[in-house]
Amino acid sequence: MKVKAAQLLIKCLEQEGVEYIFGVPGEENLDIMDALLDSEIEFIVTRHEANAAFMAGTYGRLTGKPGVCLATLGPGATNLLTGVANANMDHSPIVAITGQAGLDRQHKISHQYYDLVSVYEPVTKWNTQVKKAEIIPEVVRKAFEVAKGEKPGAAHIDLPEDIAAQDVDATPIEVRKPTKFEAGERVIKEAATMIEKAKHPLILAGMGVERGHAEGSLRKLVEKVDIPVVHTFMGKGAISWRNDLSLLTAGLSGKDYISCGFEEADLIIAVGFDMAEYPPKNWNPGGQTPVLHVDTREAETDAHYPVEHSVIGDLAENLKQLESAMSAAKRNNDWVSHVREQALQESDAFSGDESFPVKPQKIISDLRSVMREEDIVISDVGAHKMWMARMYHAYEPNTCLISNGLASMGIAVPGAIAAKMVHPEKNVVAVCGDGAFQMSSADLETAVRLKLPIVILLWRDEGYGLIEWKQLNEFKRASNVKFGNPDFIQLAKSYGFEAIGIREGGQLKDALQEAIDLNKPVLIDCPVDYSENTKLTERLGKLLC
């Protein structure tokens, strides 16, 4: 039986198990929007296309299934582009669909027409335009397979409006489970020998651990052979921060306590690590420390990432095999305890601080104290991201979400919306600077419309704090980073949020607990003392390992 091509597209998305499409409707996707009325797929209307892609990317990261976003042609598609690029570089599976001008006007200058396949080419794993309605099942199946295949990322489908309106006789293609590959016995034995010969091996855990559900296998290996673990921003929680072998988080471009761990190591075991997470030149500046590369794909070529041996394939299974191939070991890890103590003392030193505006260390201490182990925080991009990455310690993977690939500002509010949709049983807090918040704050309305009780913790400093931090470090003066703000309390209330203003240094912890207990959308406006930024730089500059 013939159906419209747009209806066939929706049936193919249903076959893929799509629950939501995040997006903004437009003229060139009218047929798709109409077809959705007869589908169980829920269309989530967003207030900006970039936010739709941020939501889809967060959904993809938390579920492992490609999130889907939709925009019309021209400005809709170019707005969507940033969020798609962000998901692609963060290795979050996503399928972006754009409406497009009809084929009959693509040969000439035409209203809102750009060649979107060319525009999306650099920021996707694969993208195509549908030029015949009959190929829609193949296009959709390939887009989802590519998007969630290792390493995950973005796929893009461009659907011209005249193709979407055509009648077609075709059916969706059956979804099949992907084949998993494991390393061979010889490869595992060679890796085990390398680790056993090393005096001070160090594991660098990246986002691939969480993506491959390999944290259980990693934890067993760590405990058996007594190897410390340092996490990237995106790999936080691969082992619990409470574990004495956790060296917490690395990622600052300059020296930090964790730098001492890398200097001590004579073998780096990079597990599920991607170079976009933390450039090797920052932790292996001389390129002298050998690397054991354990991942789903061969390593990118980098002069500071000297791979001596690779274990490629399913992470969880390969780590399990590696653990079986090794004998239990007990190492002298006094240096690990020393590094941990220094890093944790910095956090503990500010837990009782009541100065105002509130210091970053105190904000994070209060936030961690009210969040459960399984709850989710999503950090936006800015100065607060650096503090959150260093000092908000995670028990489990995917409980502190930080974008560190493209690292686009504006991700936290839409990300929190998607996270709450995926995990309604968990408390979800978006940590935003006032600069990033204003880039996506229109979707506060979406959170209210969907009745999602997210909490937004706003760090307010009236400027682009991270850029000022870098300017002061390099030039000893700031340039063009200050701006004005609205009354965030009134703004939040106008959208239907509850709102709490912090006026004293000791008020935040109770406010956070109140916000969570309200079980409503809540914004907390908290002035932050970013003079701590340069003080931190000065302290770390004097650090001796």
If you compute the radius of gyration of the chain from its CA atoms, what whole number of angstroms results? 24
Please give the full DSSP string across 92-140, using - where no structure is assigned. --EEEEEEE--GGGTTS--TT---HHHHHGGG-SEEEE--SGGGHHHHH
| Mean pLDDT, residues 66-87 taken together | 97
Q: Residue 263's pLDDT is what?
A: 86
Q: What's the whole-number average pLDDT of the chain? A: 93
Q: What is the pLDDT of residue 350?
A: 86
One domain, residues 330 and 404:
no
* Mean pLDDT, residues 341-350 taken together: 82
Rounded-to-integer distance, Cα 424 and Cα 443, Å: 18
494 has a pLDDT exceeding 90: yes
Residues 189 and 319 in one domain: yes
Question: How many CB atoms within 10 Å of residue 307?
Answer: 16
When comparing pLDDT for 367 and 337, which is higher? 367
Question: What's the structural domain count of the chain?
Answer: 3
Asked if 160 and 199 sit in the same domain, the reply is: no
Cα distance between residue 228 and residue 226, in whole Å: 7
Same domain, 241 and 99: no
Asked if residue 230 and residue 308 are part of one domain, the reply reads yes
Helix (H, G, I), strand (E, B) or coil at 452: coil
Looking up tokens 């829609």 gives 136
Distance separating alpha carbons of residues 407 and 382, to the nearest angstrom: 9
Q: Say if residue 390 is in the same domain as residue 521.
A: yes
For the chain, give me the number of helices (H) and strands (E)? Answer: 23, 20
**Interatomic CA distance for residues 375 and 69, integer angstroms:** 25
Domain match, 364 and 487 both: yes
The residue among 168, 201, 228 that closes a domain is 168
pLDDT at 129 over 90: yes
- As a whole number, mean pLDDT of residues 46-73 equals 98
What residues form DSSP beta bridges with 97? Answer: 70, 157
pLDDT band for 276, please (50, 70, 90 cuts). confident
In a domain, 305, yes or no: yes
Prediction pTM value: 0.95
Same domain, 21 and 86: yes
State residue 257's pLDDT score.
75
> Which tokens hold the place of 532?
């701590």
What pLDDT sits at residue 1?
Answer: 78
Q: pLDDT tens for residues 80-98? A: 999 999 999 999 999 999 9
First to last CA, the chain: 72
Average pLDDT for 41-66: 98
| Residues 232 and 379 both lie in one domain | no
Residue 454 lies in a domain: yes
CATH number of the domain residue 305 falls in: 3.40.50.1220
Share of the chain above pLDDT 90, in %: 81
Structural domain includes residue 179 = no
28 and 53, same domain (yes or no): yes
Orientation of helix 5-15 relative to helix 136-148, angle to 10°: 30
pLDDT tens per residue, range 291-321: 999 999 999 999 999 999 999 999 999 999 9
Nearest 10 degrees: CA dihedral of 71, 72, 75, 81?
Answer: 30
**Do residue 333 and residue 440 come from a single domain?**
no
Tell which of 310, 338, 366 closes a domain: 338
DSSP letter at 377 equals E
With bands split at pLDDT 50, 70 and 90, how would you rate the model's confidence at 253? Answer: low
What digits encode the pLDDT tens for the residues 19-34? 999 999 999 999 999 9
282-291 pLDDT, tens digit per residue, is: 899 989 999 9
Q: What token pair was written down for 147?
A: 């998007």
Rounded-to-10 torsion of CA 146, 152, 153, 156 = 20
Q: What average pLDDT score do residues 423-450 get?
A: 97
- What integer pLDDT is reported at residue 239 of this predicted model? 96
Q: Give the per-residue pLDDT at 545.
A: 58
Cα–Cα distance list, 432 to 224, 251, 276, 441, 458 (Å): 39, 19, 22, 10, 5
* Judgement on whether residues 524 and 378 belong to the same structural domain of the protein: yes
3-class SS shares of the chain: helix, strand, coil, % to 5: 45, 20, 40
In a domain, 65, yes or no: yes
Residue 344: pLDDT band (50, 70, 90) is confident
Query: Residue 436: in which H helix or E strand, if any?
Result: helix 434-440
The average pLDDT across 453-462 equals 97
Contact (Cβ atoms closer than 8 angstroms) between residue 492 and residue 499? yes
Q: Return the CATH number at 443.
A: 3.40.50.970
Domain assignment of residue 173, yes or no: no
Domain that holds residue 331: 185-338
213-250, pLDDT tens digit by residue? 999 999 999 999 999 999 999 999 999 999 999 999 98
C-alpha to C-alpha distance for 100 and 162, rounded to whole angstroms = 9
Q: What number is the average pLDDT over the span 496-500?
A: 98
Dist CA 322 CA 310 (whole Å) = 12
| pLDDT in the model for residue 543 | 58
What confidence score (pLDDT) does residue 542 get?
62
Four-point Cα dihedral 160, 164, 166, 172, nearest 10: 120
How many residues can be counted in the chain?
545
Q: Which residues pair with 460 in a beta bridge?
A: 527
Least confident range from 20-24, 109-113, 380-384, 537-541: namely 537-541
Under the banding of pLDDT at 50, 70 and 90, the label for residue 485 is: very high
Distances (CA, A) of 89 to 57, 147, 176, 274, 540: 11, 12, 26, 10, 29
Above pLDDT 70, what percent of the chain?
Answer: 98
Question: How far is Cα 509 from Cα 486, in angstroms, rounded to an integer?
Answer: 24
Inform me whether the pLDDT recorded for 544 exceeds 60: no
pLDDT for the residue 109: 81
Residue range 94-125, pLDDT digits in tens: 999 999 988 888 888 888 888 999 999 999 99
Does some domain include residue 343? no
